[in-house]
A and B are shown apart, each in its own frame.
Chain A
Amino acid sequence: MTPLLAARGVTWEAGGRTILGPLDLEVRAGECLGIVGPNGAGKTTLLRLLTGLLRPRSGEIVWQGRPYSDLSRRELAWHIAYVPQIRPARVPLSVEEVVLLGRYPHLSALQWAPRTGDFAAVDEALCRVGIEELRRRRVDELSGGERQAVFIAAALAQEAELLVLDEPTIHLDARHQSELAGLLLRLAGESGRTVVLATHDLNLAGLLGDRLLALAGGRILASGRPAEILRPDVLERLFRARFEIVRGGERPVTLLRLEPEP
């Protein structure tokens, strides 16, 4: 079976220095791929390459056999929906309007109003994320967790095959983190949904990921099932910090050990 997305020999440079790659990776239909690694490992850069927002300096990325360079921005948006980490401080629109804008790749400039199908997709996305009661509220008035849910709903309304999430739980308190994890687990479990997720939260990655990719210094240090990555030795090499396995099994739960300096 051909993978949904394949990157071959992809590199990215900044300031004349290679900060990512060369690396190869595949995303298979229906899987959830978690990307973990320290700050500056290149997680966001990798996601921006995979979504086509950046064109790699060398190597190529193909979507079901078609190189990204042959696809327009709109065509890419039919296949890939992105929830970036950095979102605007001010969004002067209502929840419904923001989610409706997720339909952009399916809208034409010549149509005066969105079609019935667009509104149906918006309703479905709001329902899936469980924020129907917020639809008339202004995004500016919402809490961080609710906002995050709105942007995920907008990405779902895009009806793309692949959902790419960058640090979805960052800046959220414990309750919102656990609510969002529940939502993501439900979404990732839906049949036919493919997810790529970059996160600092190893437990979230272990919970959601069918496969994890450990990224350090722009290179893939290791990849495999959560049980193969979330091990003290791999994590210590990856983060240069010590971890404890609180609970083993296929989806291990880890704990960062904070100790006074000797």
Chain B
Amino acid sequence: MTARPRLALLVLAVLALAALVGAPLAGSREISLADVLRGEPIAAAIFWQLRLPRVLLALLAGAGLAVSGLGFQTLFRNELAEPYTLGVASGAALGAVLALRLEESAALLGLPVVALASFAGALGATALVVGLGLRRRDTATSTLLLAGIAVSLSCSAIILFLQYLADSTQTFRIVRWMMGGLSVVGYGEVLWVLPWVLGGAAVLLFLRWDLNLLLMGEELAASRGVDLGRLRLKVLLAASLMIGALVAVAGPIGFVGLMVPHILRRWVGHDHLYLAPACVLGGGAFLILCDLAARTIMAPAELPVGVLTALLGGPFFLWLLVWRTRE
């Protein structure tokens, strides 16, 4: 029974490790692992300074997006729920764009303003969506998703308005950031994202019994002793903080949180003990590969990775809608 999920985790771990080592070797200038290990200066500089931080960030971003998508999907018992459909990422984006528009280099209490604004946006959007859902006294998933769409559209409208007001340099920066990208990063960004992603994934792993019980419905879960209010708060907080941290650094990267958990669920099964770590490894590997493709398809030009995931994710979302209704 448990052989398959364990084997799947092992395969995913190997895949993630291979992507982590392999992806930095490819790019507009190919380098070899032997050169890097020998300490050949140019190859080593490209590997350690330019490409590895970017690949590490892709790993963490993919992991965080997939795991938070999983959390939202189980919590709302809807496979279409993810940071983007719920408006959480749009909220984070609005916060970040607002900060970019005002003053991007300022820092508050040692943290960059863009990051803080992104956190605030993610939490605000989550609170708004869940608040709207609870106010109607039903946490029916349709209400939450509709509220998410409404919040998402409102945030996009405000972002467009801010772009309209901005001068051309600012507009370019905002548009480029909105496409989602991992292009200009160093180890600072990686270290900044790391605790949020690991912490959020750990919270979901600790809540695995609760999340498994939720698969059988809220009433049954509550009758087994799950405190639904507190569970919602924990999952939403963990997922929103992850998204806030990721969006601040990488911009919005859509659909990873939708596709990865869905595919892995069919392979690994529904037990969150295996599914949560599988999402960390699978999501990380997936985004590394997407970023690799984005870097190389049009080399030497780079495609923003957010554009690529959206190109893959849009049709996937539609396929999910059609396939689900047919079941």
At the interface, yes or no: B111 with Cβ under 8 Å from chain A? Answer: no
Instruction: Using A93-B270, A97-B271, A109-B207 as known contacts, say yes or no to A104 and B226 having CB atoms under 8 A apart.
Output: yes
B interface residue numbers (CB < 8 A to A): 1, 206-207, 209-210, 212-213, 215-217, 219-220, 222-227, 265, 269-271
Q: Which of B207, B209, B216, B227 contacts A91 (CB 8 A)?
A: B216
A interface residue numbers (CB < 8 A to B): 51, 53, 72-78, 80-82, 84, 86-88, 91-94, 96-98, 101-102, 104-105, 107, 109-110, 136, 151, 158
B270 lies within 8 A of A105 (CB): no
Residue among A51, A87, A88 facing the most chain B CB atoms (10 A cut-off): A88
A73 lies within 8 A of B215 (CB): no
A109 lies within 8 A of B206 (CB): yes
Q: Which of B207, B212, B227 contacts A73 (CB 8 A)?
A: B227
The residues of B that contact A81 with a CB separation of less than 8 Å are: 223
How distant is A62 from chain B, measured CB to nearest CB, in Å? Answer: 19
B224 lies within 8 A of A93 (CB): no
- Given A53-B219, A91-B215, 20 extra CB contacts under 8 A: A72-B225, A72-B227, A73-B226, A73-B227, A74-B227, A78-B225, A80-B223, A84-B220, A86-B217, A91-B216, A92-B269, A94-B1, A97-B271, A101-B212, A101-B224, A104-B213, A105-B224, A109-B206, A110-B206, A151-B220
Distance in angstroms between the alpha carbons of A105 and B220 in the assembled complex: 12
Q: Which of A87, A94, A107, A110 contacts B220 (CB 8 A)?
A: A87
Instruction: Using A53-B222, A73-B225 as known contacts, say yes or no to A101 and B1 having CB atoms under 8 A apart.
Output: no
B1 lies within 8 A of A136 (CB): yes
Distance in angstroms between the alpha carbons of A74 and B226 in the assembled complex: 7
Distance in angstroms between the alpha carbons of A10 and B210 in the assembled complex: 30
Q: Ordered nearest first, which 5 A-B pairs have the shortest CB separation?
A: A77-B225, A82-B223, A105-B225, A74-B225, A92-B270
Distance in angstroms between the alpha carbons of A26 and B295 in the assembled complex: 71
Question: What are 25 A-B pairs at a CB distance below 8 A?
Answer: A73-B227, A74-B225, A74-B227, A76-B225, A77-B223, A77-B224, A80-B223, A81-B223, A84-B219, A86-B219, A88-B217, A88-B220, A91-B216, A94-B1, A96-B1, A98-B216, A101-B209, A101-B213, A104-B209, A104-B213, A104-B226, A105-B224, A109-B207, A109-B209, A151-B220
Distance in angstroms between the alpha carbons of A61 and B207 in the assembled complex: 30
How distant is A140 from chain B, measured CB to nearest CB, in Å? Answer: 11
Distance in angstroms between the alpha carbons of A180 and B146 in the assembled complex: 42
Residue among A73, A77, A110, A151 facing the most chain B CB atoms (10 A cut-off): A73
Instruction: Using A93-B271, A109-B207 as known contacts, say yes or no to A73 and B222 having CB atoms under 8 A apart.
Output: yes
